[in-house]
Chain A
Amino acid sequence: MDGRSLDDLLRPLVPQVVGVLTRRFADFAAAEDAVQEALLDALDQWPRDGVPGNPRGWLIQVAYRRMIEQTRRDEARRLREERVATWDRAPAADEPDPAGRDDTLITLFLCCHPALTPASAIALTLRSVGGLTTAEIARAFLVPEATMAQRVSRAKQRVKASGVPFAMPGPQERARRLASVLHVLYLIFNEGYVGSAGSALYRVELGREAIRLARTLRRELPDDPEVAGLLALMLLTDARRPARADGHGTPIPLDEQDRSLWDAAVIAEGVALVTEALGRGAAGPYQLQAAIAALHDEAPSAEATDWPQILALYGLLERMSDNPMVSLNRAVAAAMANGPATGLAMLRSLEGRLAGSHRFYAARAHLLEMTGEGEAAVADYREAASRTTSAAERDYLTMRAARLAAHGTG
């Protein structure tokens, strides 16, 4: 069995096993540690000895034993040992499964707790729900393993301190937590997408993992349109991955991408998802962003894109959020739909709120280039290049400025 299919088998089981042990021992932090150790055992033994008949039961048994060992080792926890001694047996390896799915959702809600910083929530989610090892997460975020281990450990402490029980929250709390869950999954996806530049293995893995977690979430909550919207948004964005950077990792803008490289099957899946979700009434921000991504993905070229429709969707999104980046995107869509002058006029009113953002200068440079104001465009491209913190984007903007300075301004 290769590493990939072993991962596919193991990872969905991790949050369920964490759930079983947390219920049994009433200690999420310790349960999570024990499951991590069991996971490492599995990664070590299964490729050598073969996959056990009941992988979930195996993980539960091994993690259970680890927890008992830990409890015995720990002098300060003698009291709990006495309690454990009164338990007659480990949870049955073949317990029926409905609880498993529930546990996945509860574990996910716990890991994306609003009290955690995004970095902690991401680390805890990838480990306790994603089943990634601490070393894998550390590699993906380019930090030492000890640093990542501390993030996980602090996140668990915070969850513990917040006193949240391991149970499904009530309806109101559930909506709030779901918003955090969606946000954390989206952050994981973006971490994989923005930083990836096409070739960096661990970053691409993060994007895949975010999609896998979003699929899991959708299985648990099939009727939630924003869950479907987020999954659709990820799929529709990820479908363009093969075309979005050149061999050196320099980003290629949407209008210059080779659309034949886009993944048609993934686009079809994303479009179907968002279409179904939008059919259910009031659309949330993830559905709207997915709908915009779908219009881009379905267009045969940048010119043939349904810009008026995209402009209208950004209008809806703008009314929903106070995010000036949405207004910026709306201005670009307006330029594409109604000409660059319209877009530039809209940008003028945004200048104050977006001063200092490289995206503002990049967008204005693009629109100035469209109007033929080459020199002003070059200046804005350079301004954007000096402000971005993405190396790939800086390279792209610098080259764009150089090209335009040589040919465009004549």
Chain B
Amino acid sequence: MKYMMLMQFGADSELPPITTWTEDEVRAHIAFMGATNHKLIEDGEFVDAQGLADPGRAKIVRSGDGGAPVVTDGPFPETKEFLVGYWIIDVETEERAVEIAAYVSAAPGPGGKPLNMPIQLRQIMDGPSPREA
């Protein structure tokens, strides 16, 4: 069964912004993420993982009158949390998905201490994706 792990960052998560970390701390964090992805591939559990560009570059798009797009630029000061990246994993059980989510939650931050980031875990519905249909 497939799960999406959503990594959120922001004021509410009480995590220090990565722009305040030292170079070594950033390096250790990136190395951890790379190693995690590699491990997931080796374990046959990796489907996809992507980081999202800075939320400051996000746009909200709505359809306006006559279907023309109406675009609002970010950032959105009222938004407390941003999605910074996601994984899609394919695992045997939900317990395993929780285990992986807890593992990535503990990615190293300032001083090498685990960040214990909030990871939202969502099961992906069964069924063919549109490109397979």
Instruction: Please determine whether A391 and B132 come into contact, CB atoms closer than 8 angstroms.
Output: no
Contacts of A284 in B (CB 8 A): none
Residue B46 CB within 8 A of the other chain:
yes
User: Is A22 among interface residues, defined by CB-CB distance under 8 A?
Assistant: no
B132 partner residues in chain A, CB cutoff 8 A: 139, 142, 200-203
Residue of B nearest to A139 (CB): B132
Q: Mark A120-164, 1 if CB is under 8 A from B, else 0.
A: 100100000000000000010111101110110010000000000
B128 and A154: CB pair below 8 A?
no
Assembled-state Cα–Cα distance A380/B83 (Å): 34
Which residues of B lie under 8 Å from residue A146 when comparing CB positions?
41, 46
Q: Apart from A197-B128, A394-B125, what are 17 other A-B pairs with CB-CB below 8 Å?
A: A117-B92, A118-B92, A120-B44, A141-B90, A142-B47, A144-B47, A150-B43, A150-B44, A151-B44, A194-B126, A195-B128, A202-B128, A202-B132, A249-B127, A389-B1, A390-B126, A390-B127
| Interface residue? A119 (CB, 8 A) | yes
Q: Which 9 A-B pairs have the closest CB atoms?
A: A200-B128, A151-B44, A391-B125, A391-B127, A150-B44, A390-B126, A200-B132, A147-B46, A199-B133
B90's contact among A139, A147, A249, A391, by CB below 8 Å, is which? A147
The listed residue with most B CB atoms (<10 A of its CB), out of A119, A142, A150, is A142
Q: Is the Cβ of B41 less than 8 Å from the Cβ of A147?
A: yes
How far is the CB of B60 from the nearest CB of chain A, in Å?
A: 26
Residues of B within 8 A of A151 (CB): 44
A180 within 8 A of B: no
Which residues of chain A have C-beta atoms less than 8 A from B127's C-beta? 195, 197, 249, 390-392
Nearest chain B residue, comparing its CB with the CB of A392: B127
- Quick check: A391 and B46 within 8 Å, CB to CB? no
A196 within 8 A of B: yes
Given contacts A141-B90, A148-B44, A389-B1, contact A203 B125 (CB under 8 A): no
Which chain B positions have C-beta within 8 A of A147? 41, 44-47, 90
**Total CB contacts across the A-B interface at under 8 A:** 72
Q: Specify the chain B residue showing the minimal Cβ separation from A203.
A: B128
Chain A interface (Cβ < 8 Å from any Cβ of B)? 117-120, 123, 139, 141-144, 146-148, 150-151, 154, 194-197, 199-203, 249, 389-392, 394
Shortest C-beta distance, A150 to chain B (Å), equals: 4
Residues A144 and B46 in contact, CB atoms below 8 Å apart: yes
Residue of B nearest to A194 (CB): B126
- Min Cβ gap B92→A in Å is 6
Which residues of B are found within 8 Å of A201, using beta-carbon distances?
132
List residues of B (87-133) whose CB comes within 8 Å of A's CBs. Answer: 90, 92, 123, 125-129, 132-133
By a CB distance below 8 angstroms, the chain A residues around B92 are: 117-119
Which of B2, B41, B47 sits near A150, CB closer than 8 Å? B41
Contact A249–B133 (Cβ < 8 Å): yes
B38-61 contact mask (Cβ, 8 Å, vs A): 1 or 0: 000111111110000000000000
Which of A119, A200, A390 has a CB less than 8 Å from the CB of B44? A119
Q: B128 contacts which chain A residues (CB < 8 A)?
A: 142, 195-197, 199-200, 202-203, 249
The smallest beta-carbon distance between B124 and chain A, in angstroms, is 8
Between A and B, 12 residue pairs with Cβ closer than 8 Å are A118-B92, A119-B90, A146-B46, A147-B90, A148-B44, A150-B42, A195-B126, A199-B133, A249-B127, A389-B1, A390-B127, A394-B125
Q: How far is the CA of A202 from the CA of B133 in the complex (A)?
A: 9
Measured in the bound complex, the distance between the Cα atoms of B40 and A266 in whole Å is 42
Cα distance, A392 to B133, chains bound together (Å): 13
Assembly CA distance A196 to B129 (angstroms)? 10
Distance, CA A118 to CA B128, complexed state (A) = 20
- Contact present for A197 and B133 (CB under 8 Å): yes
**CB-defined contacts of A195 to chain B, threshold 8 Å:** 126-128
Residues on the B chain within 8 Å of A391, using CB: 125-127
Q: Which residues on B sit within 8 Å (CB–CB) of A197?
A: 127-128, 133
Chain B 46-78: CB-based contact to A (< 8 A → 1; otherwise 0): 111000000000000000000000000000000
A143 → chain B closest CB, angstroms:
5
* Measured CA separation A197–B126 after assembly (Å): 10
B133 and A143 contact, CB distance less than 8 A: no
Chain A residues near B126 (CB-CB < 8 A): 194-195, 389-391
Q: Which residues on B sit within 8 Å (CB–CB) of A154?
A: 42-44
Q: Give the Cβ gap from A99 to chain B, nearest Cβ, in Å.
A: 32
Cα distance A203–B129 in the bound complex, in angstroms: 11
A195 to B132, CA, bound (A): 11
Chain B residues positioned under 8 Å from A119 (CB to CB): 44, 90, 92
